[in-house]
Structure 1
Amino acid sequence: MYNIGFVLLDDDTNEQKYIDSLNSAQLHVHPINKNEVIETNENYNGIVINEYHIQNIGLICELILSLKKKTDIFIWVISKRENKMNHIVYLQLGADGIIDPETDTEESKLLMINTFNRYSRMSLNDSEQISKSEGNTELQLRPCNFSVLMNGEEISLTKLEFKTIEFLQTQKGVAVSYEEIYKNVWENDGNDKQYRVSNLIFHLRQKIEKDAAHPNYIKTVRSKGYKLTL
């Protein structure tokens, strides 16, 4: 299942009707406030913004620019067919597509699902990283939905957890410091770096280790940090 964040720019009951029509077995659509979209985008595979009023173009442009600075998340804008100039602006800023509100929502759902599925296949075929240990443990990273496939079992991760194991895999077998992990995962300066990294590793181990108290995959390196031993 793919998670879609539906940005609410106006208080309108029709928005909920549209959200309900997009929900399906493969798409789970979550309404989110316009002020929360930047902070919560890591929870979603894609973002949908409904233009609703032509006066919202400035706000939508700001949202697209802010999202593109932080993430490669898919972005679609719902905009009426006659607003052609707006469409060009949105696409130039990085939106992945324009959805006509008059289009059957079934078409819109298929458009999103096909995009996600294609990206997932491309990730697996072209950029998926695979490593095998002597015990024949196989790890496959799935960037499309922030999950890993371990010995045939798919495990869902948060965006930060996924970025952590992705970075550790690039340094497989090499101990990396708390500072290095923090820099590559959060990409900013902050306080309590060691605590935040340790807490993230704790939750990651809970998901991928058979016994998190005695980890086989993510090893602690005393006075240094961690290393991946797959």
Structure 2
Amino acid sequence: MEKETVLVVDDEKEIRNLIDIYLSNEGFKVLKAENGIEALEILSSEDVQLVVLDIMMPKMDGIETCMKIRENKNMPIIMLSAKGEDMDKILGLTTGADDYIAKPFNPLELIARVKSQIRRYTKLNTSYEEAKEDGNLDVGELNINPNTHEVKIGEKLVNLTKREFDILVLLAENKGVVFSTEKIYESVWQEEFYDCHNTVMVHIRKIREKIEKDPRKPEYIKTVWGVGYKIEKNL
């Protein structure tokens, strides 16, 4: 079986090497870059299944790099940062990251996060490839295609991150069902829910900004106050 490839992007050589050692011992192929520009060059020529991306870097920081990656790639991205404040986490997630770990971090926790994200990514890609050709999900003017990972409003293509797409599919497949933030997190992230309300709320907000005519008065994703979110059956 071919090894999954992880790209580690950090301007600190010691951090790159430490992560390399741990991931290599777990059977991953590890590529390394010291800044965002170098990372994008590697991604243009290598098949990478996951990116570990530091936020604070010279030349091109992790936020800008994440946004560039998300222009045409949907592999999981785990952000690293020496800052642990909520705003840094939210900023990273809104630019398309899938997870966030604050430095200093436990290497075993990072390995667990990497494995979880790759399992999720592989499982979803397999399910999309095996989906039926007529398996499109239609919600009003919204068309969701699991085969191509595309979302359209009429003829306009909507660019969603992998997490945003997964949340939208979950709600669209279960019209009328109200999902709590806990249920959404555990279904999409495939991890036990802790204090992740902000993470889900940020993703819902970003989806609305991309698919709703007026995000403040959403037509598609409705908030059921005190309970969670849903897509109406009659759309």
With normalisation by structure 1, the TM-score equals 0.48
